[in-house]
Amino acid sequence: MLPIFAVAAPGLEPVVAGELESLGMRATAERGGAAWTGAIDDVARANLELRTASRVLVRALEFRARTFHELERGARRVEWERFVASNETIRLRVTCRKSALYHEGAVAERVLDAVEERTGRRGVTGAGDDEEGDNAAGPLFVVRMFRDICTISADSSGELLHRRGYREALARAPLRETIAAAMLRASGWTPDLPLIDPLCGSGTIAIEAALVARGIAPGLARADRTPRAFRFLEWPSTDSRGWNDIVDQATTRIRARCPAPVLASDRNAGAIRAATANAERAGVSADIDFATRPLSAVGPPANAGWIITNPPYGERVGNRADARRILHELDGRLAGDFTGWSLAALVPGTSAEALFKTNNGGIPVSLRVSGRAAR
């Protein structure tokens, strides 16, 4: 069995742990993600099906190291060859916190020495943070020193999981796919209820909702349903037959259509063009009703459901007064045409009653629920 860790954006750890639970993987929320123990099939399913996590790591080894001698000795015990083909260059990303070994460059150098001694190959460091370096050649290992405990983890995902492959056309300050998926999950929306995003931008919330409603795994979020090329598929220890079975099972679960309406609108015609193109790449354009219209012109379907949206703030709006006006208008619609509906909005700042708090584009945000669901 393997110790596995799904990396989450700050504040989304319980959401990721809950999603893993729904997939049959009993995980515990920890700072930075959710941890559990499973087989290689769990690694494969987590990469293919997790909607709210950023990447999936396999913890290759954990040991105590207060000296460089202890660090090198521990690093030599890692089965690097289990995760690395003979012609590949190992990449390291190192962080050090509250440890006797605090210099990240020195830690990286000692680990690379151990890699060379065990495998005969010299690795590299400076792989960048979680926003960069993912497309570089070679397997990535994350080395974490915290309170004198060294954890060396093999990245099984490759490119970050929020990069589904469908979003090329972007509106201004787009919402990350994993945060959109977390909004849907944390709000309590279910696919049998109508969903409206009246401020849809590049369409991420509506597209993620359509993928959920049709049972399309995020790793299959391309129009032809070709699975993503995850990093673990390159590991020498991976059996491709098991992966093919997992993909086949996920493909057979896909539904022909959404059971309830998914509607997305924006007053910006360019945003709607971008959103429509993204939905086409995800193969769900027929499942979403896109329209160019202002918030004041949005009307509800016959049955009550959810408004789930990421209102403009920060770069997407001129000032805080405009942001407050938009939120006030959304609340007003719940007391008018949308009586009986629920609203989940990602708003700037933090509040005690928020369902979760995280960062979007470097801005602290909270998921606020009002209307019927908040009563």
Q: Which two tokens stand for residue 4?
A: 């596995």
Question: Does residue 89 lie within any of the structural domains?
Answer: yes
Question: Does residue 236 lie within any of the structural domains?
Answer: no
Where does the pLDDT of residue 135 fall: very low under 50, low under 70, confident under 90, or very high at 90 and above? Answer: low
Question: Does residue 242 lie within any of the structural domains?
Answer: no
pLDDT for res 31: 94
Where does the pLDDT of residue 126 fall: very low under 50, low under 70, confident under 90, or very high at 90 and above? Answer: low
Question: Does residue 231 lie within any of the structural domains?
Answer: no
Same domain, yes or no: 259 and 120: no
Same domain, yes or no: 132 and 262: no
End-to-end CA distance of the chain: 44
What digits encode the pLDDT tens for the residues 173-189? 579 999 999 999 999 99
- Give the bridge partners for 143, in sequence order: 94, 152
pLDDT for res 171: 58
Question: Does residue 227 lie within any of the structural domains?
Answer: no
Same domain, yes or no: 182 and 141: no
What digits encode the pLDDT tens for the residues 361-375? 888 999 999 988 776
Q: What is the pTM of this model?
A: 0.93
Q: In Å, what is the CA distance from 87 to each residue of 101, 138, 139, 232, 234?
A: 31, 9, 11, 16, 12
**CATH number, position 119:** 3.30.2130.30
Q: Which two tokens stand for residue 218?
A: 């995020």
> Among the three residues 155, 190, 225, which one is the final residue of a domain in this structure?
155
What digits encode the pLDDT tens for the residues 287-334? 999 999 999 999 999 899 999 999 987 655 555 666 778 888 998 999
Question: Does residue 170 lie within any of the structural domains?
Answer: no
> Among the three residues 104, 123, 155, which one is the final residue of a domain in this structure?
155
pLDDT for res 154: 97
- Give the bridge partners for 197, in sequence order: 264
* Helix spans in 136-203 (H): 177-187
The mean pLDDT value of the chain amounts to 91
Same domain, yes or no: 17 and 92: yes
Same domain, yes or no: 138 and 183: no
Burial of 24 (0-12, 13-18, 19+ CB in 10 A): exposed
Quote the number of domains for the chain. 2
Angle at 292 between CA 286 and CA 297, to 5 degrees: 115
- In this prediction, residues 252-263 reach a mean pLDDT of 97
**CATH number, position 205:** 3.40.50.150
Domain region containing 337:
177-216+255-374
Same domain, yes or no: 125 and 191: no
Same domain, yes or no: 197 and 305: yes
SS3 assignment, position 139: coil
Same domain, yes or no: 21 and 87: yes
Question: Does residue 237 lie within any of the structural domains?
Answer: no
Same domain, yes or no: 182 and 151: no
Where does the pLDDT of residue 122 fall: very low under 50, low under 70, confident under 90, or very high at 90 and above? Answer: confident
Question: Does residue 167 lie within any of the structural domains?
Answer: no
DSSP letter string over 242-302?
HHHHHHHHHHHT--SS-SS-EEEEES-HHHHHHHHHHHHHHT-GGGEEEEE--GGG----S
SS3 assignment, position 116: helix
Same domain, yes or no: 315 and 365: yes
pLDDT beyond 70 at 127: no
pLDDT for res 202: 93
Same domain, yes or no: 266 and 347: yes
pLDDT for res 132: 46
Q: How many helices (H) and strands (E) does the chain have?
A: 9, 14
Same domain, yes or no: 95 and 191: no
